[in-house]
């Protein structure tokens, strides 16, 4: 039985999965090392250092701000993170790597063969390349995939892989309360993402909200990520004609609720317009259709990323050209609930059910 466990993760969604694993291991001594961001999701868990927020939010090699990361100290951070993980050798009974193959490679510096929770790739959108397959086969003790198709593909290469549910579904937060919305009207959920461009994305989504409000009576809700301060949001939106009104911001007849209760927001949603990674997928897991577009200058939600997410979610995601096209798509789905339900179910099937976190915890317990 593993009594001392280290969880290594490299992404905001991956940090949430790692935190769910840590909660499931309440009877163990657990530490975590978020390689991306500060690890806010790991509340109450011992965290290793150094940690440093980078401009790309971990997407530098996928079209993000590589130069900005380098200027912020990414090279030094990588070296010291690797040194920290080497220093964990002999101190942990088990290691879990949550993320991509780079995360697995980093976690293996502990000299323990990690359990690999492969959240970053699926056969639906981006199969693992030959070098990645070699790394997985060499370093991982077992791989938990996000779908059966990926587990089957890895098994063909002699990799011990299993599918016990999608870990990103397990990481969906529970509601913290009830949103202050009157019942009856549909709800459009706006997801600006959690990367460095979240505030810029929010301004694009507010354009969507104005168009939708002019076409249909719907509640408008924006899920604010932990990386954004509400005071900064209010200051920025006031510069483009919005006003704060308690928990809402208003412009003319358009009212948008700002909330940090993502768990309640996704459950209330009828349709989402999302410029997010994990959050888009988690909304789809609840059977809600997602409309998306790639804004100019995006850190994460580039045209390439949108293409990959479309392959992943299939008809659960409606890919559009720009904010105006997205607004029209959202209105159409809100006015056609049967089609919204059909697309939502398609996304839910692609995401699958939860259960991986309990299976991982059971494996660690032996």
Question: What pLDDT sits at residue 60?
Answer: 47
Question: What pLDDT sits at residue 67?
Answer: 60
Q: Is residue 180 part of a domain?
A: no
Q: Let me know whether 195 and 145 are in one domain.
A: no
Question: What pLDDT sits at residue 207?
Answer: 98
The residue range of the domain holding 67 is 4-163
CA torsion 2→24→228→190, rounded to 10°? 130
Question: What pLDDT sits at residue 90?
Answer: 94
Q: Is residue 51 part of a domain?
A: yes
Q: Let me know whether 103 and 251 are in one domain.
A: no
Domain boundary residue, one of 163, 196, 212? 163
Q: Is residue 168 part of a domain?
A: no
Helix, strand, coil percentages (3-state) for the chain, rounded to 5, are 45, 15, 40
Q: Let me know whether 143 and 41 are in one domain.
A: yes
Q: Let me know whether 291 and 202 are in one domain.
A: yes
Give the number of domains in the chain: 2
Angle made by CA atoms 64, 275, 40, in degrees to the nearest 5: 75
Question: What pLDDT sits at residue 235?
Answer: 93
**What does the DSSP assignment read for 101-143?**
HHHHHHHGGGSS--EEEE-S--TTT-PPPHHHHHHHHHH-SEE
Q: Is residue 20 part of a domain?
A: yes
Q: Let me know whether 154 and 16 are in one domain.
A: yes
| pLDDT tens-place string over residues 324-344 | 999 999 999 999 999 999 999
Nearest residue to 103 via CA among 124, 83, 81, 87: 81
Q: Let me know whether 82 and 127 are in one domain.
A: yes
134: domain CATH number is: 3.40.50.2000
Question: What pLDDT sits at residue 56?
Answer: 55
Domain boundary residue, one of 163, 195, 225? 163
What residues does 98 pair with on adjacent strands? 9, 117
Question: What pLDDT sits at residue 69?
Answer: 65
Q: Is residue 257 part of a domain?
A: yes
Q: Let me know whether 301 and 248 are in one domain.
A: yes
Domain boundary residue, one of 148, 163, 178? 163
Q: Is residue 342 part of a domain?
A: yes
What residues does 317 pair with on adjacent strands? 290
Q: Is residue 176 part of a domain?
A: no
Radius of gyration of the chain (CA): 20
Q: Let me know whether 197 and 154 are in one domain.
A: no
Side-chain half-sphere exposure of 93, counting CA atoms within 13 A: 12
Q: Let me know whether 149 and 230 are in one domain.
A: no
Q: Let me know whether 53 and 159 are in one domain.
A: yes
pTM across the whole model = 0.92
Q: Let me know whether 145 and 287 are in one domain.
A: no
Q: Let me know whether 233 and 268 are in one domain.
A: yes
User: Three-state SS for 245?
Assistant: strand
Residue pair 115/141 in contact by the 8 Å Cβ criterion? yes
Using 70 as the pLDDT threshold, list the residues of the chain that sit under it: 1-2, 54-73
Residue pair 33/83 in contact by the 8 Å Cβ criterion? no
Q: Is residue 217 part of a domain?
A: yes
DSSP tag of 322: S
């Amino acid at each position: 039985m593993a009594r001392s466990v280290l969880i290594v993760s490299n992404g905001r969604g991956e940090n949430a999965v790692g935190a769910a694993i840590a909660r499931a291991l309440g009877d163990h001594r657990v530490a975590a090392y978020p390689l991306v961001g500060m690890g806010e999701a790991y509340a109450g868990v011992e965290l290793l250092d150094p940690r440093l927020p980078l401009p790309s939010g971990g997407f530098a090699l996928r079209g993000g701000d590589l130069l900005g990361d380098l200027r912020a100290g990414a090279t030094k951070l990588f070296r010291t993170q690797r040194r920290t993980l080497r220093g964990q050798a002999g101190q942990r009974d088990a290691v879990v790597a949550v993320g991509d193959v780079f995360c697995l490679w980093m976690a293996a510096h502990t000299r323990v063969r990690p359990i690999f929770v492969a959240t970053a790739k699926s056969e639906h959108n981006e199969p693992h390349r030959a070098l990645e397959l070699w790394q997985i086969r060499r370093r991982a003790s077992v791989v938990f995939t996000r779908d059966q198709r990926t587990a089957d593909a890895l098994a063909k290469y002699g990799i011990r892989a299993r599918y016990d549910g999608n870990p990103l579904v397990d990481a969906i937060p529970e509601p913290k309360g009830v949103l202050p919305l009157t019942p009856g009207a549909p709800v459009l959920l706006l997801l600006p993402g959690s990367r460095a461009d979240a505030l810029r994305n929010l301004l694009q989504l507010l354009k969507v909200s104005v168009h939708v409000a002019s076409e249909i009576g719907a509640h408008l809700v924006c899920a604010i990520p932990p990386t954004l301060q509400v005071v900064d949001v209010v200051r920025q939106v006031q510069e483009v004609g919005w006003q704060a009104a308690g928990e809402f911001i208003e412009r003319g007849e358009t009212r948008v609720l700002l909330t940090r209760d993502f768990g309640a927001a996704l459950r209330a949603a009828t349709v989402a317009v999302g410029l997010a990674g994990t959050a888009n997928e988690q909304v789809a897991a609840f059977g809600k259709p997602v409309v998306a577009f790639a804004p100019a200058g995006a850190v994460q939600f580039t045209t390439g990323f949108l293409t990959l997410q479309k392959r992943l979610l299939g008809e659960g995601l409606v890919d559009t050209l720009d904010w105006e096209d997205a607004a029209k798509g959202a209105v159409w789905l809100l006015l056609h609930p049967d089609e919204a339900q059909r697309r939502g179910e398609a996304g839910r099937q692609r995401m699958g059910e939860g259960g991986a976190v309990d299976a991982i915890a059971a494996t660690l317990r032996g």
